[in-house]
Structure 1
Amino acid sequence: MPDLRAPGGSAAPYDALLLLSFGGPEGPEDVVPFLENVTRGRGIPRERLVEVGQHYFLFGGVSPINEQNRELLAVLRKDFAEHGLDLPVYWGNRNWAPHLVDAMREMAGDGVRRVAVLTTSAYASYSGCRQYRENLADALAVLEAEGAPRMRVDKLRHYYNHPGFVEPMVDNTLAALAELPEPVRNHAHLVFTTHSIPTTAADGSGPVEGHGKGGAYVPQHLEVAARIAAGVTEATGVEHRRWELVYQSRSGAPHIPWLEPDICDHLEALHRAGAAGAVMVPIGFVSDHMEVKYDLDTEAMARAAELGLPVTRAGTVGADPRFAAAVRDLVLERAAVERGEEVERRCAVGSMLPSHDVCPRGCCPNPRANRPAAAGTD
């Protein structure tokens, strides 16, 4: 059986990798149009978007996500070249330039016919998986209407439990712990954060690998949190360190149940309980984009300062070379599957199996409409 990870491994049948992300404004004039793209079809008034846009205006109207994706692109291309993987890497966004449909037009013009797709979301959920698949279906429909040659897209599996995602987060957490005063460091709680979503969306978020049931969003995050906490324990020797999974960035109507507790509420609870300090670990995000910079670095840090609670924040995976190597691993793994070859090793850590390659029917349903989605069974 060939070693898929050996230098020069084959990406056939793929002609390209597409990095598919959320997008963000790159200047004050972009902010409201960007938010209109994000919320299109939801009937949110413009004045509310201007209010939400203040988060971006605090940072000059620029979201860091696009620059961080450029860094990730550079690291991916470098890793591929160093390991003899001849596969061009393109980039498209859901909500802002470079737009997904433009990236796919470029690929079609370059002769690309089969695409592996990496989304900047590691977990199962509607907004983190199926919505991207709907965006891909929309873009393919536009290209078909324009008479472009037929293109096939395959979304790579969820990578939340790949060691190339988990190991950098262990190191980032250790670095954040080291920023706390020494008397606090060994007693600080690890507070793992991710995006809050409606509880109905969490319940419908796909099967839990190896357990045969739905609602994967929360268990997947708990798995990552447990792996990182174990890695921190091994590195520090501090046993029985407290850790929790909490949520941030809620944006829905108050009468709809969303996942809780909120990060700021949790920091208040830690303070009341006499906690020595905490490290916020944003496991739900691939890069330090606006929901990390504002919701954690600005809002949550301000609340911690008001409470007098020592708090630091761990970095996200970002453009860590180990994450780039994990992406290469995922591409080669899926390519072998598509060639009909047996894959001896699918990298994953913890108690959950590697995620499915193809989303099953009914996985992470659209809460607003039944729309076609690419790269799945429906």
Structure 2
Amino acid sequence: MTAPDQSPVPFASPAAATGAEFVETPVDYDALVLASFGGPEGQDDVIPFLRNVTRGRGIPDERLEEVAHHYRHFGGVSPINEQNRQLKAALEAELASRGIELPVYGGNRNWAPYLEDAFTAAAHDGHKTLLVLATSAYSSYSSDRQYREDIARAITDAGLEGRVTADKVRLFFDHPGFVAPFQEGVDAAVASFLEQGIAASDIHVLFSTHSIPTADAERSGPRDIDWGEGGAYVAQHRAVAEHMVRKLGDGAVLRDVCA
């Protein structure tokens, strides 16, 4: 039996095993794994899914049912699964258009297909050096470090120790490819309001995000940085919102909105 990986980042490639923010040594990845939270696909899945989300906390089903109504309102179906299927297809199409032969696998933390299923399938197909893209852009335990733990757990549970390595893509909240589509949507909406004759002073842009427990937000990000109230999670969201508002004023037709 293979001994547990004791490197700072278990089961990472040698180039990424130290946990440095950026990998500067080229790595020849042979597959991409899209990792996400997962969600129920129907009413019968809701409580089992919530049990997975809260595993180890001893929360009774009666309490879970109080949360379940958020999913039951939409037929017990979470939109995240279909969104991830579309994202996977888009990644595959983009890679193909660039002539890059890199298969894409999908796996979730809390619902099928699970992350260990994705790693097992990749290994079965002969892929050993995996790049993992988690669909969470911002700092917090559940959106970053827990995915690293998920990767290590999934590789162990799948019995793939010593057979595969897996490197997680860095947080991408500030990457132009992530921010630009939001910017384009806001710019278009504001321009449309102005064209309708709505005064710039009457236009307000509301930024909303996924909520996490306050204590988790406060603990997010490196401890040696003073992030202010809300930790890195809030600071990063504010930084993106402020950037978008500044960019909103770049065009003449939109400049008055930011005055």
TM-score above 0.5, yes or no: yes
Change (3 A) 1:103 1:185: farther
Structure 1's consecutive aligned runs of 4 or more residues displaced over 6 angstroms after TM superposition are none
Contiguous gaps of at least 5 residues in structure 2? 1-25
Q: Distance in 1 between matches of 2:244 and 2:80?
A: 24
The alpha-carbon distance between structure 1 residues 185 and 100, as it changes in their structure 2 partners (threshold 3 A), is: farther
Counterpart amino acid of 1:216? A
Aligned to 1:109: 124
- After superposition, where does 1:236-247 map in structure 2 within 5 Å? 236-239=253-256, 241=258
Partner of 1:222: 238
TM-score of the superposed pair, with normalisation by structure 2: 0.80
Q: Distance in 1 between matches of 2:181 and 2:105?
A: 24
**Within 5 A, what are the aligned runs for 1:178-327?**
182=196, 184=198, 186=200, 187-207=202-222, 213=226, 215-235=231-251, 236-239=253-256, 241=258
Gaps in structure 1 of 5+ consecutive residues: 1-10, 243-378
Q: Which has the higher contact order (CA 8 A, sep 6+)?
A: 1
Asked if structure 2 preserves the Cα contact closer than 8 Å seen for 1:108 and 1:148, the reply is no
Whether 1:118 aligns to 2:121 is no
Asked if residue 163 in structure 1 is aligned to residue 176 in structure 2, the reply is: yes
Distance 2:189 2:68 in 1: 29
* 8 A contact 1:189–1:241 mirrored in 2: no
Change over 3 Å in CA distance of 1:141–1:225 after alignment to 2 = same
Tell me how far apart the structure 2 counterparts of residues 200 and 194 of structure 1 sit (CA, whole Å).
Answer: 17
What secondary structure is seen at the aligned counterpart in 1 of 2:250? helix
User: Is 1:65 paired with 2:65?
Assistant: no
RMSD: 2.4
Aligned match for 1:142, one of 157, 172, 183: 157
* Residue deviations 1:70-111 (CA, integer Å, cap 9, x gap): 111111111111112221111000111111111111111111
Aligned length: 228
How far apart are the structure 1 equivalents of 2:52 and 2:189? 35
Q: Specify the code of the residue in structure 2 equivalent to 1:201.
A: D
Partner of 1:20: 35
Deviation at 1:62, TM superposition (A): 0.9
Distance 2:164 2:140 in 1: 25
| Residue 161 (structure 1) shift | 0.8
Match of 2:14 in 1: none
How many angstroms apart in 2 are the aligned matches of 1:234 and 1:96? 43
- Aligned-partner residue type, residue 120 of structure 1: T
Counterparts of 1:179 and 1:25 in 2: how far apart (Å)?
36
Identity %: 51
Q: Does the 8 Å contact 1:177/1:185 carry over to 2?
A: no
